[in-house]
Amino acid sequence: MADGAFGLTKELERETASVWAKVRDHVTPMEWPTQAALIHEINQLKRERDAVILAHNYMTPEIFHGVGDYVGDSLGLAKEAAKSKAKVIVQAGVHFMAETSKILSPEKTVLIPDLRAGCSLAASITGADVRLIKQRYPGLPVVTYVNTTADVKAETDICCTSANAVQVVEWAAKEWGVDRVILIPDEYLARNVAAQTTVGIIAWKGRCEVHERFTAADIADMRAAYPGAEILAHPECPEDVLAASDFAGSTAAMIDFVEAKKPKQVVMITECSMASNVAGDVPGVQFIGPCNLCPHMKRITLENIRDCLLNMQFEVTVPEDMAERARLAVQRMIDLPPPAIPARYDLIKARHHVAVELI
């Protein structure tokens, strides 16, 4: 068959044309033939293996747009995987995400393309740490961010996301009849939640290595260089970063903001690939740095996704007793009504120096 653009066969060019249209600003013409061939091979393997790929917002564009069957944040991906009839789940993300998928889909085979794809935040706390915290603060509910390992979730009363953390904290305080709640492990998420509620927050000194590097000086520099840009920050960033931004919210909330408002220029204060992926769906919006790369997310590539499916390798399992307890914490959160989006960011700006008790 005659070659088309970039030396691709006409068939492969047609098959990947819609992907190329979304990634062309982030993938060079020299790279594309190899990537297009891998995308084709992976999509074939998915059909053969009865598999779906969960592509997190921080995956590179060729993965996100090229092979992701479900895209979004970690909990949203796990929920979609649980609904899917596919027998195999490939987690294009990090290890705690694969565990969450297994917790919600125990009957399915869950694979991760690279077992070294970890998370600095998830690694900051263990189940044993949580047991000690509960001994120190008996009777207080433990709210745990979904960005944690299965053994931590198993010691938890209810999980939360960055989108619903305020709602979950207030629900837990009311349900337990207390005025303080333990919110772990992200220190900055806890501080930013404290700025939006009257519930007292006890926090752990865990941090995301991507988000903790952003500073208010970064925001000031962007304001000076691009005075008309909308600046959106993730709640895992330091308080002064959120206070200096125009909007604070989860990855889903940031996407909703851009899609609804379609500003001319946007700065996303989060992982680099997030802006690249959103840009493919909102042409006409200019995305500007700064951003920080997650080295763990970047361990996932088209090549190791292909190998993962080809060899059915790197299965992620969770002991059933641990999974059962963790599932209860996750399901409690899922059963709550969805939070309002955007978050009450006006309160973050007004009260961002509210004190928390740091363990």
Residue with tokens 């996303």: 268
Res 345: pLDDT: 47
Counting as low any pLDDT under 70, the low residues of the chain are 1-6, 339-354
- Give residue-wise pLDDT tens across range 193-242: 998 899 999 999 999 999 999 999 999 999 999 999 999 999 999 999 99
Query: Contact at 8 Å (CB) between 180 and 199?
Result: yes
Residue written as token pair 């700064």? 290
Count of beta carbons in the 10 Å neighbourhood of residue 141:
22
Q: Per the confidence metrics, is the pTM higher than 0.85?
A: yes
Q: What pLDDT is recorded for position 74?
A: 81
Distance between CA atoms of 212 and 122, rounded to whole angstroms? 14
pLDDT at 344: 45
| Of residues 7, 51, 21, 34, the one with CA closest to residue 312 | 51
Which DSSP symbol is given to 21?
H
Contact criterion met (CB below 8 Å) for 282 and 62: no
Cβ-defined contacts of 347-350 (< 8 Å, 24+):
347/195, 347/196, 348/192, 348/195, 348/196, 348/239, 348/242, 348/243, 348/248, 349/242, 349/243, 350/195
Provide the token pair at 226: 């691009």
Q: What pLDDT is recorded for position 317? A: 98
Rounded to the nearest 10°, the torsion over CA 301, 304, 310, 315 is -110
DSSP character string of 204-240 = --B--TTGGG--HHHHHHHHHH-TT-EEEE-TTS-HH
